[in-house]
Structure 1
Amino acid sequence: MAFQLPYCLCFLLTLLQMPFHTTSQTYNNISLGSALTAQDDNSSWLSPSGEFAFGFQKIGNDGGFILAIWFNKIPERSIVWSANGNNLVQKGSTVELTADGQFMLNDIANGTQMFIAEQAAATGVAYAAMLDSGNFVLANRNSINLWESFNHPTDTILPTQTLNRNSTLYGSYTKTNYSKGRFLFTLESKGILALYTANFPFESPNFRYWATQTEGVGFQVIFNESGYIYLTDINGSLLSMVSNKEVSMHDYYQRATLDFDGVLRHYIYPKSNGSSVGKGTRNWSTVSFKPPNICTAISEKIGGGACGFNSLCKHEDEGQIICQCPQNYTYIDTNDERKGCKQNFVPQNCDETSPETHHFGFQEMLYTDWPNGDYEHFLKVNEDFCRQSCLSDCFCAVAVFDKATGGCLKKGIPLSNGRIDKGVGWISLIKVRIDNSTYRQEVPRARKKENSALILVGSVLMIIISYLIVSLITYLFASHIYSKQAKVSKLYPVVHSINLKCFTYMELKEATNKFKEELGRGAFATVFKGVLASDNGRSVAVKRLDSMVRENDLEFKAEVSAIGRTNHRNLVQLLGFCNEGQHRILVYEFMTNGSLASFLFGESMPSWDQRREISLGTARGLLYLHEECSSQIIHCDIKPQNILLDDSFTARIADFGVAKLLQTDQTRTTTRFRGTKGYMAPEWFKSSPVTVKVDVYSFGILLLEIICCRKHYEPKIEDEDQMILADWAYACYKKKTLHLLLENDNGEEIGDIKMMEKYAMIAFWCIQEDPSLRPTMKNVTQMLEGTIEVSVPPNPSSLYVNQSDRSYY
């Protein structure tokens, strides 16, 4: 044995260092002017041995055609490369190698052309060939390959094929849909070979769930003729094995495919029934796969995992997974189980006057877990407490109870990264509605027929009753509107101790010249400039909420209530409102210098002194909202568009439309999704209760924008490292190159680089992912004023900076 082990290792390394045979391949040349037409008989060009084919293959009985390369001598005709997976073409479409060397796909349905190898034609293409290796090539008269399908892989690599840095395989969307899907396999530019979830429907990588430890040294992936798949450095030395099963190309067809489920599998298929590996079975079998268990490998804090939201991933043999729904949940799309699951019952409402707790119960599930998305955690409690806590909480969809520790975790919709794992020792309590009448299910057809007569009679009666009710409501509504319009302006107490002017709709219509001059537009409202003739021609900003939207009525009441109680020089003053019929209108003082966004991102940059004053003013306004007004207010939408500037360029916080008020004995609140992408704190995406620290986070992003006079996200910038301002700014801070952030300034700011560095450090503290690490706005204000020192901030490392999730912006 002392001799055999080194001998085997030496033999293995010898095989790895000699990846390819040097025997030449026979070419069946495809001459210029040749073409194929998409027909039902799968027209194709064959390799010399007939083992591979290039051409059109029909997808499904009623589907289109894909231009592809496939194994031609097996019944499945498994596809290994495709040109148009995202856009199938119709019958009659053609692929053509033109007389001038262009290789193009012509879609007959819309008359479009796709150049498959656009740059190769300019270098003298003389012919094409389908090789026995599975590689389709375009070559010149000297038989030098100008283009190869091996250099442009889709989801599969074959023996003798290599992957270089920046090469990527994209898993298909489903088993029969060859569009780019939810996973990718790539050799990164920095040498790491990795599997990623894709930022679907985009193609950018999102979360890495398997990787080699080869940063800086990984150079090439080789799939050699002995069946080994491995990563080498630039000198050809072995770094990491991907598949170490020796399989003969003479006996087996082989492929390594990133499947639609996110697993990279090395497949073999016996060329004859006498093959030794695979026991002579005539189908594809798996010899190795990565990762070992994708259900547990994907552990990202955002995203649906391997099976989508609200689902459960179960790991089977050969890396196969089964996607299941919890009890009383159903697939969103039965044709695509990986889209996730939905509740098949009406969820619990959050009306405290009728909590519906008696309509809900629990289904117990063993060995299940959704490791992310906890929004509340109790320790040393019993199961009854855990059940009751979830039952009385309308946000709770699942309670997980650990009998060993007395731990209780509450999770809300959507549930992410669900998996079935025998190693899980706790109980999952799935909250379900026990009243069958409110389940989301269709009435059986037989029952429909039995009740058809009753339904007809009932329908006639309902029409008559509905007509009478509508007539009565119309009369009452018209009378109400008439009485409203007859009222004149007066001081109207909206809430206790608040007196604001109540305008009629006609007054504001006249003041705005029929709402002519638009100042801005938001998701639920439009702002117009107006002039109050009754107030000596005073200019005002008139915010008209969109009509007939229930959410706007809540927003209107929130804004009147919140702003009506406030009084601070850094807040926009509310002068009055209109609550007439369907009209919900707010009247503010007019800010002559517009929004901070137009000032920061316009042609002329504000001076450094102006930037400091605006930063400090905004901080003081937030401090007032958080700690100094009668009811603590979370603004929830701090951004440059919501900071207005008066005639002296004083910062004034506006738009309390999404404000969340807290009572004096509250420090946290759970609320629906609010705010603007890019400025929203990570806790919004974790189903976690939010606090005033979400405003601190938004202020940190805003502060960086004020310092640099640029937007937090610039997708069109040439240097990708500079796209996300927070990411770039922190990198400059660590490298002591903060002056790079001010390259477009006039020099004044660079002269005060120490002050600029301090402001950047404050911003980094504000955008910490952990809310507890962020300072309060009182601390922020003191740091900006210079009354307390600013310590060295840790890396903000927010969830979307770490994961390059640029879809967030």
Structure 2
Amino acid sequence: MATAIFTLMFLVTMVLLQLMAVAQTNGSMPVGAFITATDDAPSWLSSSGEFAFGFQPLEYKDHFLLSIWYAKIPEKTIVWYANGDNPAPRESKVELTVDRGLVLTDPQGNLIWSSDILLGVMNDTGNFVLQNSNSDRLWESFSNPTDTLLPTQIMEVGGVVSSRRTETNFSLGRFQLRLLDNGNLVLNYMNLPTKFVYDDYYTSETYDASNSSNSGYRLIFNESGYMYILRRNGLHGLREDLTKTAIPTTDFYHRATLNFDGVFTQYFYPKASSGNRSWSSVWSKPDKICVNMGAGLGSGACGYNSICNLKADKRPECNCPQGFSLLDPNDRYGSCIPDFELSCRDDGLNSTEDQYDFVELINVDWPTSDYERYKPINEDECRKSCLDDCLCSVAIFRDGCWKKKLPLSNGRFDIGMNGKAFLKFPKGYVPPDRPPPQLPGEKKKPDIKFIAGSVVLGTSVFVNFVLVGAFCLTSSFIYRKKTEKVQEGGSGLETNLRYFTYKELAEATNDFKDAFGRGGFGVVYKGTIQAGSTSVVAVKKLDKVVQDGEKEFKTEVQVIGQTHHKNLVRLLGFCDEGQNRLLVYEFLSNGTLANFLFGCSKPSWKQRTQIAFGIARGLLYLHEECGTQIIHCDIKPQNILLDNYYNARISDFGLAKLLVLDQSKTQTAIRGTKGYVAPEWFRNRPITVKVDVYSFGVMLIEIICCRRNVDLEIGEAENPVLIDWAYDCYMNGSLDVLIGDDMEAKNDISTLERLLKVGIWCIQEDPSLRPTMRKVTQMLEGVVEVPAAPNPFPYSTISNYNQE
């Protein structure tokens, strides 16, 4: 009896193994097949291996997305996903069952999603099909699209494609592509809580009111890469082509995606491994998304109070105006909220010129937020009418005077608008400068001159260019009145930063007793301040600041205070009292990258790569995108802090100029940053942004390996200089040695190799060979190809510099 049972189990096992082998060759999955959501989870492949079905990890909350993606493209381009509003927790399971079809359950066995059908087949077209034993198609992903259409996919009348919420959030977004009953293909956006659909902002105009048989009835994306709308017209039919240019599908992958920002785009990607491997646009709709949307309802292409600027690729760029900040700092396409308050309750019925002032914005408008229009009227009268109206938040002077109140919707920048917007703010508050909108096709420059048509400051402020230092250009915006807090402190610095007295900061830090860090610039203390509510802050007490350098200190603090980026630590205030110079920063509870990276447990590969990307974006902002170019001069893991979500935040930027010259060189070159120093510091060569690129390269290799660059505690035989060893491993093709038992990194070997090559390019001994941080960011994110890296130190051994 036991022998018979054993024989039966053996036969069943062999049958299942055969079925699984078939699944690897023809894309079909037998009943009972399952995948568990883990970092190294397998996937179900189509027979060609070009498409995969399975779990993709998300960037938040340790959740996974059941999805279909291109298996042969390094960037995980997802073309279909299930239940984006409720992604699966780790250890969830998707299984093909006999009675319920494809079933997705959480780790406790609770149902998350199901298809209610049987056998699954992952087709080479990217279509996941569920069918019965007779091969009848009972469900398919092509008939239930999310945000993407693929070649051979058809959308019938009534079909809907919906955008995701953001680039990385797969919850339902607010934009839709629909084929209406009347034959029009339209784009519209909706109110998410109720799914109420607003007016279209694009229509294909394939509805023929005079002859309904000539109207559109089917959207086809054919196997040749053409997308068109088929019209009802007898046996032959007519079609309205959306794709005008032939890009062969034999050589390129194709997809058409309704992007999270509302632009519907057909893309292509080369199948060959050589050349520029990135998604490029064939066409997109609409041509201008920064227009009035929703017939006055909703926020428009960007969030409320935001400004939409059309980029060269017809995608929108959203920016908050001066004095406004993102409601959700992680969603730059979301709504903006004012950093100040305008209220009739405090001001009575009238505002006055003593209480309020304006920031002037050129060629910016929020056309659907009007409540009054005055005509005829001149510019001064328009400004005064808004000052004297406590309900007025913005006045637009263009063909009359248009008065607006918050929230502002459908904001946009348009060079042809020929108008001015006067944005009102209280005089006790100084709005921070924000970079002007960029014209399509224009390259960003580190220079701070404003171009015609950009957002500029108006009659209440003027631009004052000041040359500071040997290699930095800075600007300061001088207002007619100083903030009351600054006047109380007796400082001449005009800025929106809060001024603290030394006594206030001594009380906030319990007489500077709670020190939790020290760097090349001074000791850092933890403290609490009252600003409407109790806030925890980090107070940095600067050492050996340039003596008799009051003007220099104020100028540099003002420059630091005007920076605004999610990968920079925010400066909240300062103290400049006698010999006491202190800076007050936001407090980040997760500490430094050094503690996180070199601690007892190794952070996940995904966390490390995201931290590296964040640091690169922060440095790009400092070098090229903020009003004044800032060279950090001391990039190292101790100067990278982590916020509550483990996002990288660069600290101590802009402080290098505040130190005594000799000390600056000593601290930056040797004492505080052994192992991170660019060779030019020792060769009397010009110091440029490339010193930061070098330090970033060293730190990137540390992030890859979770090991310090210079570790003299280990023996010579154990490769004490990391960058030397990393280059040797790269040349020998032994990348797995660098990461030890890190299986997550080994399973993502293409990303590992890309990041290592970028790091080696950054540590080139010759500064001219090092890429800019813009190029570094593009290479890290896979936007551009990373060439083979040359020997980084052909003339000498860099480790000699870093150990002196």
What TM-score do you get using the length of structure 1 for normalisation? 0.49
Return the index of the structure with the highest Cα Rg. 1
